[in-house]
A and B are shown apart, each in its own frame.
Chain A
């Protein structure tokens, strides 16, 4: 029988640094809740807003698969491998930190905030060679269908990472539904609702709620309003 966990939006941790406002679905930095550490290999789900002209100075990462998905505005990334890129809504960025990488992330537009999701997935191998990838996903998006934006396979749709994880994004119109099949035995799915309202196997979710489901082969999502969401299909043991 499927097991589930509901994380309502207002139960998330938070940090307000003035220029940075962040909601943490799982323990992160100064927010520590031993009951909210991870969902399988999904360790970090931060819902960030960075003021115009502000950003994260040079800082390190290692041994983590780091995915950024812009929702509004744009974010400039510059790293110690020589990559300089800007990501915008309709794109996804993945970075394998591996043996170590430094990077900066700035909102170069002084007129408006950038809002984005930063997601960290535990890698399936430590100390890999650092790498950076960025892919446009908007072109593949179809209304009332799921679009894969991340996988473990370099030749598959979206970006790829060092973990048996698959991400799909969906935009559903009111009253429409999609079925989702878990990609791999032992994986679970964490659904994060970006906008609107949906029901997952009858469980209602509101904006920015998260819902984990595992020990199941799949589930159904029905939009009770126009809705946008992200499904993160990750190993529960790794």
Chain B
């Protein structure tokens, strides 16, 4: 059985987070999990090898910077990327590009 790509999504807007997770999990190759705070991201990344951390809406600039630094300290191979758009429009391209190595910038 092929291993799914693990994606962690963080965002404080519950309905939008749920939409993003539903869209990501519609791809059979991906398994997406959602959390709503930086500490939950850190805890999740310490317990599971995520390939991508997608930063959704609602965190402050400082929280986003803190999250990125701490996640990369746990595992520098994790692609940490901001999400834009809130729905299906850009979501898949963001993940494809991150997995191709275009993240953490």
Which residues does A use to contact B, with CB under 8 Å?
27-30, 32, 34, 37, 43-44, 59-64, 97-102, 120, 122, 126-127
The reply to whether A99 and B58 contact each other, CB–CB distance below 8 Å, is: yes
**Residues of A close to B57: CB separation below 8 A:** 62-63, 98-100, 126-127
Q: How far is the CA of A44 from the CA of B60 in the complex (A)?
A: 25
**Residues of A close to B90: CB separation below 8 A:** 27-28, 43-44, 120
If A99-B57, A100-B16 touch, does A32 touch B84 (CB 8 Å cutoff)? no
The reply to whether B93 and A61 contact each other, CB–CB distance below 8 Å, is: no
In the complex formed, the residue of A with least CB distance to B102 is A34
Which residues does B use to contact A, with CB under 8 Å?
11-13, 15-16, 19, 56-61, 64, 82-90, 92-93, 96-97, 100
**Residues of B close to A32: CB separation below 8 A:** 92-93, 96
Shortest distance from the beta carbon of B31 to any chain A beta carbon, whole Å: 20
The reply to whether A126 and B89 contact each other, CB–CB distance below 8 Å, is: no
Report 22 cross-chain contacts, Cβ distance below 8 Å, ordered by A residue.
A32-B92, A34-B96, A34-B100, A37-B97, A43-B84, A60-B19, A60-B86, A61-B85, A61-B86, A62-B11, A62-B86, A97-B85, A97-B86, A98-B57, A99-B12, A99-B58, A100-B16, A100-B58, A120-B85, A120-B90, A122-B84, A126-B82
The reply to whether B93 and A27 contact each other, CB–CB distance below 8 Å, is: yes
If A28-B90, A34-B96, A122-B84 touch, does A60 touch B15 (CB 8 Å cutoff)? yes
Q: Which one of B16, B60, B93 contacts A62 once the chains associate, using CB atoms below 8 Å? A: B16
**Residues of B close to A60: CB separation below 8 A:** 13, 15-16, 19, 86-87
Which 9 residue pairs across A and B have the least CB separation, nearest first? A62-B86, A62-B57, A100-B13, A61-B86, A60-B16, A27-B93, A60-B86, A63-B84, A64-B85
Q: Which one of A44, A64, A122 contacts B86 once the chains associate, using CB atoms below 8 Å? A: A64
**Residues of B close to A102: CB separation below 8 A:** 15
**Residues of A close to B82: CB separation below 8 A:** 63, 126
Q: How far is the CA of A97 from the CA of B12 in the complex (A)?
A: 14
In the complex formed, the residue of B with least CB distance to A101 is B86
If A32-B93, A62-B86 touch, does A126 touch B64 (CB 8 Å cutoff)? yes
Given contacts A27-B93, A120-B85, 12 further A-B contacts (CB under 8 A): A32-B93, A32-B96, A34-B97, A60-B19, A60-B86, A62-B57, A62-B84, A63-B57, A99-B57, A126-B57, A127-B57, A127-B60
Shortest distance from the beta carbon of B32 to any chain A beta carbon, whole Å: 16
Q: Which of A59, A62, A97, A127 has the most CB atoms of chain B within a 10 A radius of its CB?
A: A62
Shortest distance from the beta carbon of A25 to any chain B beta carbon, whole Å: 13
Shortest distance from the beta carbon of B78 to any chain A beta carbon, whole Å: 20
**Residues of B close to A28: CB separation below 8 A:** 89-90, 93
**Residues of A close to B97: CB separation below 8 A:** 34, 37
In the complex formed, the residue of A with least CB distance to B56 is A62
If A100-B16, A127-B60 touch, does A63 touch B93 (CB 8 Å cutoff)? no
If A34-B100, A61-B86, A63-B84 touch, does A126 touch B61 (CB 8 Å cutoff)? yes
